Amino acid sequence: MADVLTFTKRGIYCAAGDFYIDPSKPVERALVTHGHSDHARSGMTRYLATRSAKPVIQHRLGPNAVIDTIAFGETRQIGDATVSFHPAGHVPGSAQIRVSVKGEVWVASGDYKTVDDGLSEPFEPVPCHAFITECTFGLPIFNWTPKDILARQINDWWATNKAAGRFSVLGAYALGKAQRLLTTVNPDIGPILTHGAIEATNIVLRNQGITLPQTIPVTPELNVHDHPGALILATPGAMAQPWGAQFGPDVSTAFASGWMALRGQRRRRAMDRGFVVSDHADWAGLNTAIRETGATKVFATHGYTGSFRRWLAEQGYDAQIVATDDPADA
Amino acid sequence: MKAAADLFARLDDPTGPDAKIAALLGYFQTAPDGDKLWTVALLSGRTPKRIVTANQLRAWAIACAGLKDWLFEDSYRVVGDLSETIALVLPPPSRHENHSLTHWIKTIKRLSRMDEETRKSAILNIWDGMPAAERFWFIKLLTGGLRAGTSESLLIRALAQLTGQDEPAITYRLNGTWSPDTTTWHNLIEASDPQLALSHPYPFQPSQQVENIADLGNPAEWQATHAWGGARCQFILRGGSHALWSQDGALITDQVPELAPLRDFLPDGTVIEGALRAFAGDAPLGADAVHARITRKKITKAMRAETQLVLIANDLLEHDGSDLRQSTLDIRHKHLKNHLTSTPDQLPLRLSSAVEFASWSDLETQRQTARTAGADGLLLRHRDSPYLASKTMRWIWNAPPLTVDAVLIYAQAGPQSRANLFTEFTFAVWNGQTLTPFTRTSTGLTDADLAELSTWVRKNTQSKFGPVRQVTPTHVFEIAFDDIHASPRHKSGVALRFPRVLRWHKDKPVTEANTLDDLKDMRATYG
Ligand SMILES: [Zn+2]
Ligand SMILES: [Zn+2]
């Protein structure tokens, strides 16, 4: 039987339906798992994404991008392929894409996490013959902090800083991570300020009905010192730039990422604190997700592919590596 | 152990000293006395004996997590620390037992008396009750690797703030061979100790660098002696016992056992300020030999055979039990001289002899040759000044640095924050037809120099070794340094103290750089 999906220079390709999944080069028809820039790129003639992923993708790609939408679980015939989108739990609207051709079912996971973040549609295992899995954190050293402990860690850090008259500057990616932090922290502690890139995403998500706590965007007109002890959500890039200097020397800095599980990474970031929070699956999450698909064939992409493939092969899977040269978000 | 693990993590975070002291204070204000005592012990390097090796723990963790050896190795390569890898790969705990730090240390001691099988199942059981963040520190405790390095001085500052004592008092209390088994928190930190007050040093008189010697006024009003590079210290003899404090607040009595015999020859109630110098027999050694000795925890016979420390006395701060600091330098110096002339010559105590001069230009000549005497320069003090005056009465006039012309041969990329720049440079001198590296520095180069050099390095790289690039020998720099001494660990056979770039000789050809023989001559003259 011919492969349902193949791996090309332009991305994951389905010959039966003549479309690509998360292509890296301009193509006619792109099925896009979610709005992160290593998945939703500009230059495609037509896009297909979930209804809840579309607003962010449109915001990022501009008004001229032609984006069709599909509901989670809805099937659609494209050429000889039947496709459907299923929650990946990564960011709001993020999907795994199921492609079925003549009874053979393949699933491309995109980015995913198995724990419910209370914001994204929770991950659902999709039975399939072949599963294309990311493995950004595909080593047994990555085991995420339980949600309640994480919330306590961040709230304690913020409250302590506030009591000492310091700002708390927390670095996080604009889409997904930032909003997850917003719904994790206790907004009663104090005001929450946001960097423009994060606030722009907040607005898009609020418009599609997602509830986020009140935030104050940091604009040139805003005097940040009117909000003493505030929590400031910043993109990693902004923290390093002059933007970060406006809060003065009396700040505590922290970064939220799966990489913060590693002491060496925490020290390299040179932040005061590192919180272990990721929108990708941890070791247990990856293993559980793969097992629950029932797939016998697994393709590892994005991450520790060498180690993870070998591990899967030893677990009895027909495991292969998909080479990509794109840096993944984490 | 949660509170202790949190504290260790905060001390381990790349934060500044204030945040670390705040973390220490927060911990000491809430932890039970037993835990506080153990924390002080651990942070001052008094770790319990190692009862298992990291490799044993590694094997147990691999089995417990159901991993393969190769997968653990792959993980270890990413993590970079064995204890941390073990802590991270273990399956999540099934329960959380929050016992005190003291409880875990007692448990570790009990484990040491068990056979290996029992010990293994006990440790696996303990791991199953601990989150990864605590496991990491627990594993460090098990393997005897919990060292907090630089935090001992922060610990002293925090304890001083906590208890309202001053730092020398805390330093004195933490000194010595105590362990939590032989004392209590109260006895170690809080109980009054008559010897404590007796061992107290005086604040050191601050000094300033001379910029324009004529500003000091009339030369006849000033006393000049050599300024020695070794550690400035106070020798205190009170109540029949002695203490030696370095200027940076360290109690180094046990590091300089040579000075113990002074007790038998100096009267009680004597405080001498001076500098330590190191000798090998009659041959003077550099300041680094002093430093190497006083930063050691234990001094062995071999170390004493290798280097002998001598106190070069500069000042007398206490005389027959009375504070002499308000007296003039001339009076203090007279008493000091009397002490020294009445003690036997073989004692490791000498007077820093006065440098005679009639005019500033006269003294300038002496400054030029100060390094031949093994000094860093001259120390100038006003003859009528008290030890602590409202304005500076203690001036250091540095001798001109030693310099060589050297060729740039390697450049190293900066840390992540300055990744586009090369920020460490290795310099070489001629050894026949080859260039021998002898020092590495970036001090003295301006940001503009760094930018210009970095562009040049990128275009003139011959080969790369990790972050280091070998460049075509092209540029000559004048390298200044304060001291040079023999060092078998270096390819060149010499090591420099405080090397820095004085200037970039853009017009000098590499053939005109100095030679290794020049360096060796300098070592013979100044080392
Ligand atoms: Zn993503
Ligand atoms: Zn991604």
State which of B107, B126, B142 marks the end of a domain: B142
Cβ A271–B14 below 8 Å, yes or no? yes
pLDDT the model gives residue B418: 62
Structural domain boundaries, residue B458: 402-526
| Within a domain: B159 | no
State which of B343, B374, B398 marks the end of a domain: B398
Chain B interface test: which of A115, A136, A141, A161 (most B C-beta within 10 Å)? A141
- β-strand partners of A100: A82, A105
CB B173 within 8 A of CB B188: yes
Tell me the pLDDT tens digit for each residue of A256-299.
Answer: 999 999 988 888 877 889 999 999 999 999 999 999 999 999 99
Shared domain check, B436 and B393: no
Residues of A in contact with B74 (CB under 8 A): 139, 304, 306-307
Shared domain check, B383 and B450: no
Q: Is the pLDDT of residue A323 over 80?
A: no
**What is the distance between the terminal CA atoms of chain A, rounded to a whole angstrom?**
36
Shared domain check, B263 and B382: yes
* Of the ranges B50-54, B66-70, B249-253, the best mean pLDDT one: B66-70
Residues of A in contact with B70 (CB under 8 A): 310
Q: Where residue B430 falls among pLDDT bands split at 50, 70, 90?
A: very high
B45: domain CATH number?
1.10.3260.10
Q: Where residue B415 falls among pLDDT bands split at 50, 70, 90?
A: low
Give B230-242 as a DSSP string. S-EEEEEEETTEE
What would the mean pLDDT of A117-129 be, rounded to a whole number?
Answer: 96
Which letter does DSSP use for residue B222 in this model? E
**φ and ψ of A131, to 5 deg:** -125, 125
| Within a domain: B72 | yes
Range in A129-143, B10-24, B27-41, B53-67 with the lowest mean pLDDT? B10-24
| Within a domain: B181 | no
Q: Is the pLDDT of residue A91 over 70?
A: yes
Tell me the pLDDT tens digit for each residue of B312-347.
Answer: 999 999 999 999 999 999 999 999 999 998 888 889
What would the mean pLDDT of A90-103 be, rounded to a whole number?
Answer: 97
Q: Is the pLDDT of residue B73 over 80?
A: yes
Residues of A in contact with B22 (CB under 8 A): 164
Shared domain check, B113 and B67: yes
Question: Which is higher by pLDDT, B146 or B517?
Answer: B517
DSSP H or E run through B243:
strand B241-246
Shared domain check, B364 and B423: no
pLDDT the model gives residue B345: 86
Tell me the pLDDT tens digit for each residue of B126-145.
Answer: 999 998 789 999 999 898 77
Give chain A's domains with CATH numbers.
Answer: 6-141+280-329 (3.60.15.10), 147-275 (3.40.50.10890)
Q: How many domains does chain B have?
A: 3
Give me ligand 2 centre to Cα A221, in Å.
35
| Within a domain: B453 | yes
* Of the ranges A259-273, B303-317, B464-478, the best mean pLDDT one: B303-317
Cβ A264–B79 below 8 Å, yes or no? yes
Q: How many CB atoms lie within 10 A of CB B325?
A: 18
| Within a domain: B190 | no
Question: Which is higher by pLDDT, A41 or B342?
Answer: A41
CB B303 within 8 A of CB B272: no
Q: For chain A, where are the E strands, in sequence order?
A: 6-8, 11-14, 19-21, 29-31, 46-50, 67-70, 75-78, 81-87, 95-101, 104-108, 130-135, 167-171, 192-194, 216-217, 231-234, 251-256, 273-275, 297-303, 318-321
Shared domain check, B68 and B56: yes
CB B409 within 8 A of CB B435: yes
Residue A139 and residue A110: Cα distance in Å, rounded?
Answer: 18
Q: Which residues contact A26 (CB under 8 A, 6 or more apart)?
A: A43, A44, A45
Q: Greatest CA span in chain B, whole angstroms?
A: 83
State which of B109, B125, B142 marks the end of a domain: B142
Shared domain check, B394 and B490: no
C-alpha closest to that of A28 among A16, A14, A39, A43 = A43
Residues of B in contact with A271 (CB under 8 A): 14
Shared domain check, B122 and B69: yes
Which letter does DSSP use for residue A165 in this model? T
Residues of A in contact with B417 (CB under 8 A): 270
Residue-averaged pLDDT of chain B:
90
Tokens describing residue B409? 């041969």
Tell me the pLDDT tens digit for each residue of B150-194.
Answer: 578 899 999 999 999 999 899 989 987 788 998 999 999 999 887
Q: Where residue B265 falls among pLDDT bands split at 50, 70, 90?
A: very high
Q: Where residue B13 falls among pLDDT bands split at 50, 70, 90?
A: confident
pLDDT the model gives residue B32: 95
B247: domain CATH number?
3.30.470.30
Cβ A262–B84 below 8 Å, yes or no? yes
pLDDT the model gives residue A330: 44
Cβ B88–A142 below 8 Å, yes or no? yes
| Within a domain: B334 | yes
C-alpha closest to that of A321 among A330, A329, A303 = A303
pLDDT the model gives residue B342: 86
- β-strand partners of B222: B382
User: If interface means Cβ-Cβ distance under 8 Å, which residues of chain A face chain B?
Assistant: 139-143, 149, 164, 252, 261-264, 266-268, 270-273, 284, 304, 306-307, 310-311, 314
Tokens describing residue A36? 């992160």
| Within a domain: B148 | no
ipTM, 2 dp: 0.92
Q: Is the pLDDT of residue A328 over 60?
A: no
Shared domain check, B420 and B382: no
Shared domain check, B332 and B287: yes
Shared domain check, B228 and B134: no
B67 touches chain A (CB under 8 A): yes
Range in B64-68, B75-79, B217-221, B483-487 with the lowest mean pLDDT? B483-487
| Within a domain: B325 | yes
B417: domain CATH number?
2.40.50.140
Shared domain check, B256 and B394: yes
Chain A interface test: which of B8, B13, B128, B416 (most A C-beta within 10 Å)? B13
Nearest CA in chain A to B415: A268
- What share of chain B has pLDDT > 90, as a percent? 63
Q: Is the pLDDT of residue B146 over 50?
A: yes
- Beta pairing, strands A130-135 & A11-14: unpaired
